[in-house]
Structure 1
């Protein structure tokens, strides 16, 4: 064995230029592979962080089939034991969703009005940090929603020619079959980094949105995890804590079910990473 090793070393240095060229080629190839792996892995993490920190959270609790049908009647009241199952450092925020028409008098646009708890939402998403140069929503405990405040995206504000303090009319199909409508005043303007979201999503205190839509309960409990790697374990724990019949059937979804197109992109990137590694 010793003789074979010595012969191999001698042969390598007999053609030193060829040996160095081969080593350099291998090193360059490995460097390119590692660089591509880092780029794709970083891109994946950036996309996941953006969608979970601005929209979905890591997990969501809904009435079963809500994500498929988006029926506004699919509301529920979250049980305390669900919150107790969350790991330390996790946070949860209730939401309601109302497909609506928003009008400034000059322009109108179709949007999704999202009713949120302003304080709880800050622990799940960073929408509050996106209100540069303007104010974030405040809690409105009044049953009649006396403040009627709304947070709109920069793209929507530009389209509606609306600024801070502007009055906007919200119209929506209420859960009881009537036409819900109310007058809101722009409290702040956010800029999420996604022009599509900024033009199509507006936020209001959850009781204000519920009043317009004649809603009882919430559509979604969004959950932020301190460690995204615990996603599957926490999902299983929450699923086991869902109320049994005769309560309406519930489900726990991840950001992948909430954003299937993004999940497909991540899966494709992971496949490319695997091919590169091989």
Structure 2
């Protein structure tokens, strides 16, 4: 076997041009496949992170009926959570939220608005709400933060007094006057036209719902740990009449769009594999055709076809290994760079992403599975294509080969 390896190694480098052509075609296929999947998975992680931060968290705790009927009466006492130990090294942060609807009025204008009661310091860290502030004071506990579009529709400015009227907890009347302390600008039109943020205690008082919250949103350090944390949280909440949902359950449309894009990405990868496969097959074909006379001589002097196949198989294995290794070495520093420095979008592309509430970037994922999966995929394809040289050697005719 050692002799075959030595012969194969010498044969690989006997024709350096052919070797570099074959290895390069394999290397570039691994390189492009790794980059493509890294950007694809990075984009998914970014979408999940943005949606989890701004809307639901990776995990959400609420009344069992709340998600089906999101009304103030389906809120729960946050003291139920204070009694529990929700600390875990995988949890980045958790925030209580209270939501409702009311009529917002200023002067002779009235608009419907979504009210969100939040802990302003925690929300600044959880959903980066403070970054949305374009005017006024974020930390003014006595005032409200209004979406830019809603403020414009009501002709409101910072310092004006907003009147809120609605229905509170268990049907009580809710009414109050609050100064506008700040203006927020959201990329999502529906939020920008109708969102009002208040300190949690202020909204609880307005709705006559002391200590009540609609949900407790949990943000994890890694979205991949969602199911693991769900099992952990269910154990903690087993004696409570509270529901626990993952971001996949709360955001089914996001899951569907990711799955659709993922399968679309695989279609593109398959097309790439087919194109590269023809290139690899061409180099294998060239390898056999150029050496038909040589292989015929080896067979004629007593080297049986199985040994010739073994030698050529080792050559092909070395070529594939060299190509895959080159591709991984090429892809690793590029992915590392873009993982640390995502591609910033501008112009219409950036506006389109911001419209859906996502950062205008193309992030890359750094995951060992990317390199492993693509390396193995190309390796298997190349090994499959190596069947042809083996069959060609098996059908080798000495007389015909010597006349080549």
> TM-score scaled by structure 2?
0.57
Structure with higher Rg: it is 2
The residue number in structure 2 matching 1:144 is none
The question of 1:86 aligning with 2:87 is answered yes
In 2, distance between residues paired with 1:243 and 1:214?
29
The residue number in structure 1 matching 2:236 is 241
Gaps of 5+ in 2: 270-373, 378-404
Deviation at 1:33, TM superposition (A): 1.6
In 2, distance between residues paired with 1:196 and 1:170?
19
The residue number in structure 2 matching 1:112 is 114
The question of 1:225 aligning with 2:226 is answered no
The answer on whether the counterparts of 1:167 and 1:183 sit within 8 Å (CA) in structure 2 is: yes
The residue number in structure 2 matching 1:180 is 174
In 2, distance between residues paired with 1:176 and 1:266?
39
The question of 1:198 aligning with 2:198 is answered no
Deviation at 1:186, TM superposition (A): 1.2
The residue number in structure 2 matching 1:127 is 129
In 2, distance between residues paired with 1:222 and 1:137?
21
The answer on whether the counterparts of 2:84 and 2:236 sit within 8 Å (CA) in structure 1 is: no
Give per-residue Cα distances to partners, 1:208-256, cap 9 Å, x unaligned.
2223333352111122333444332332222222263xx6x21112222
Give per-residue Cα distances to partners, 1:33-78, cap 9 Å, x unaligned.
2221122112112212222233322222100121122132112113
In structure 2, relative to structure 1, the CA distance for the partners of 1:270 and 1:125 (3 Å cut) is: same
In 2, distance between residues paired with 1:109 and 1:34?
50
Give RMSD over aligned pairs.
3.1
Question: Aligned with 2:96: secondary structure?
Answer: strand
In structure 2, relative to structure 1, the CA distance for the partners of 1:2 and 1:92 (3 Å cut) is: closer
The answer on whether the counterparts of 1:53 and 1:124 sit within 8 Å (CA) in structure 2 is: yes
Give per-residue Cα distances to partners, 1:79-127, cap 9 Å, x unaligned.
2466523214643222111022323336443332011122333343321
In structure 2, relative to structure 1, the CA distance for the partners of 1:225 and 1:7 (3 Å cut) is: closer
Deviates more, 1:75-84 or 1:253-262: 75-84
In 2, distance between residues paired with 1:39 and 1:82?
42
Give per-residue Cα distances to partners, 1:258-277, cap 9 Å, x unaligned.
32222222333444556635
Deviates more, 1:22-31 or 1:250-259: 22-31
In structure 2, relative to structure 1, the CA distance for the partners of 1:135 and 1:233 (3 Å cut) is: same
Gaps of 5+ in 1: 140-146
The question of 1:27 aligning with 2:27 is answered yes
The residue number in structure 2 matching 1:142 is none
In 1, distance between residues paired with 2:187 and 2:57?
17
In 2, distance between residues paired with 1:55 and 1:90?
16
Deviation at 1:189, TM superposition (A): 1.5
In 2, distance between residues paired with 1:181 and 1:254?
34
In 2, distance between residues paired with 1:51 and 1:227?
14
Deviation at 1:16, TM superposition (A): 6.4
In 2, distance between residues paired with 1:116 and 1:157?
19
Aligned residues: 267
Question: Aligned with 1:176: secondary structure?
Answer: helix
In 1, distance between residues paired with 2:45 and 2:16?
43
